[in-house]
Amino acid sequence: MNKKTFKAFILSSLTLSALLLSTGSQAGEGGVNGGGGGTLPAEPISTYDVLRIVQKAKKTLDPFVKYQIFNYDRSSHESYELKLYGGSTTLWDILQNTNIEIELNNACHDAYGKEVDASIHAQQQNSICLSAFRIAPKLIKERAETEILALILHELSHKLGTTEKEAQAFQKSAAYYLSSEVAKISSEQFVKNAQVSSERLQNLLRQINNDFSNLNDQELLARIELIMTALSKFDESRLVEPFSIFNRKELDYFILQRFQFEVAYWAVLASGDTGTYWQNKIDKAFAGRDFVTEGDFNRRINEFEDPNTYSNEIISKIKNRQDLQKLLEAFSRKFAITTQAIRNLWLDSQMGPVADLETPLNPWSAYIGQYQVLDRNCSNSKPDTNLVGFKIGASEGADQLGIVELYSNGYGSNGGLYNGAMVPSGLTAVHIEASGTDVKRIAEMGDRWGERFEQASLEMNKVGSQYSLTTTFLSRRFKSNQWSDEIMSCKMKLQKVVP
């Protein structure tokens, strides 16, 4: 069935036993009802069931939205797809940064005060509203998760400008794809498979890098073959309809890394018993040169056009063991970011970024040095008078910077200043932002829709010769049937004392 026929099938014959859209026409009025002329199910779910579904929703919606972006067709005739997946800000960005207010005892309200099941209008900024009070009586257990997830996507889509008609069409389509009749695998099993295969690959990369100098040629070949097998297993697990670990750009970068590793694999095999075959592959790929673009490599080896975001990036020939060691170290470092993101998702935490070409470009490198605290102004917290300065520098590699807090009685780490870093709070999603002379590291632990969420940010700025560092800590807890936010921040004036 082709894509156009499939979409027509969804819109014309889709039957949702537990989901009928509300008849309101105002954007932001998403809803469900029991169907059957207004009758309600005999055994509905509870408001607690709705709450638990929402608190676990990211494990399904993260890879589901990634798949939609991966599969996005710019020639599509669905108007909402361009809004959700075609811009610089996508539905996945909205999903990561939007809060949900769950009403356990009341309705949500639209812009005109009308009671609805869900709404883009919430009490707090950057939030949507979901009424467990209104939704629970209308849904049975078998359909509840699918319909609630689709309703959440309906409301999130309004953040990117969908009309109510477009949001309804998207909601119906999402419910169809997420249903057990269509999905080839549960989201939980998909994430588990990806987590197991990525951890296996990462462990093998870590081991070969640790042992590299002690391996002879035969041992090295055996290790490389294990990595190649693990890489293929991960390749099989990263995309299963309707879920994906990568969006299109992230997958393109992974393919670039895989091609480079394949070149290393061939180089090792070229020194073995079947060396002539593998050397011929190397010669075909590089055509007598020491490097080739990703696009040329793909055309020469796979003999077909597959447009890649990074088609002009360079793949280098492996000429000696030193080249091989450098490649393995770089591959391990970059793939660790993907492994961390999948692990976070498995543990119901913020997924965080997956490595792409921009990841190593670290704007914090402009602030390498040691700083003295001259003054500080803190809100909702007492300033730590023992904190006298900061030191920013390389921690585990030239592109992996860390920040250390300097105290009058010693020092302590404040974590990494690079995507995928491990920070003191544990399994944490980290991403870096930059604008002009402003640089920012945001570390997040937990899920902003879950029972617990923490966000710690560091923002560095230079105006003239004056430096400033702002630390902000947000803690969300679900207490007394609602989320409660506590925010503490300190802004410090700094003087650079060591370059």
Domain boundaries, the chain: 3-178, 187-346, 363-498
Torsion, CA 194, CA 345, CA 243, CA 137, rounded to 10:
140
9-13, 93-97, 470-474: segment of lowest average pLDDT: 9-13
Specify the DSSP element, H or E, that contains 293. Answer: strand 291-293
Q: Which two tokens stand for residue 400?
A: 């992996």
Q: Which two tokens stand for residue 237?
A: 């697990």
SS3 427: coil
Q: pLDDT digit string (tens) for 338-375?
A: 888 898 888 777 776 676 655 445 788 889 899 999 99
CATH code for the domain defined by 363-498:
2.40.128
Residue with tokens 């970068």: 253
Handedness of CA 433, 438, 443, 448 (dihedral sign): negative
Q: pLDDT digit string (tens) for 136-183?
A: 999 999 999 999 999 999 999 999 999 999 999 999 999 999 987 888
* pTM exceeds 0.75 for this model: yes
CATH code for the domain defined by 187-346:
1.20.120
Q: pLDDT digit string (tens) for 419-448?
A: 544 444 455 677 777 887 889 888 888 888
Report strand pairing: 243-244 vs 239-240. antiparallel
